Amino acid sequence: MGEKSGGRGGSGNVPKKSHVRNLHTKVKTARGRKLSSTLWLERQLNDPYVQRAKAEGYASRAAYKLSEIDARYSILAPGKRVIDLGAAPGGWCQVSVQKTGSTGDDIRVVGIDYLDMDPVPGATILKKDFLDDDAPEMLIEALGGNKPDLVISDMAAPTTGHRKTDHLRTMYLVEVALDFAIEVLKPGGHFLSKTFQGGTEAVLLNQLKRNFAAVHHVKPPASRAGSVELYLLAKGFHGKPG
């Protein structure tokens, strides 16, 4: 569901020049391959975050997005519990494990995705669609029946090429993730979700402001400048309404 990544070490800053290739790699358009695919591949090969993720054992460059958001807003800490929605390929789970100290004997990070992904040591991963009716209960059960301190979501709907449609479909996932967070978060907990630039619906913003002490729109440095993705961060959950 989401483009993510996580792993060992790393401050989340842009890698030093000594750690990346200085030569720009050009990719020839192969027969049958679309130009857009060629440009994507070329961008991946020349992206310093992609190169650093490979070097440091992260599942993808998206790990640095969570690391950078945490460095600025302090949403992860030792002993905290985290639920990761749309966890594939695993980077946000890796970063969460690293920051919380989650282990196989004391699981504090649970991820869910219908996509296949490699195991993340220290985390429990459910191969399941978060939109399934029984998914919320399974997530809490996997967390030992405990309420999470943080619900994070990098979910995004498969794109159709129609910008407004893609925006609406992804906003639906944000709304579902927020409803879940309001049901399960500990008081004082936080909610982080991917969204797209182009305006967050007033109803959603009002719901965030009613239930959390502070709401931020965040564009971490690891998010490509040309990307329309943005992150909504709501801090200080007031507690489930009575």
CA dist., res. 155 & res. 129, Å (int): 11
194 is catalytic: yes
Sheet-wide strand order for 150-153 = 124-127, 109-113, 82-85, 150-153, 190-196, 229-237, 212-218
* Beta carbons within 8 Å of 136's beta carbon, 6+ residues apart: 180, 183, 184
Q: What is the dihedral of CA 150, 117, 168, 62, to 10 degrees?
A: 60
Contact 102, 108 (CB under 8 A): yes
Catalytic residue among 65, 80, 99, 194: 194
CA dist., res. 88 & res. 103, Å (int): 19
Contact 190, 178 (CB under 8 A): no
Active site residues: 194
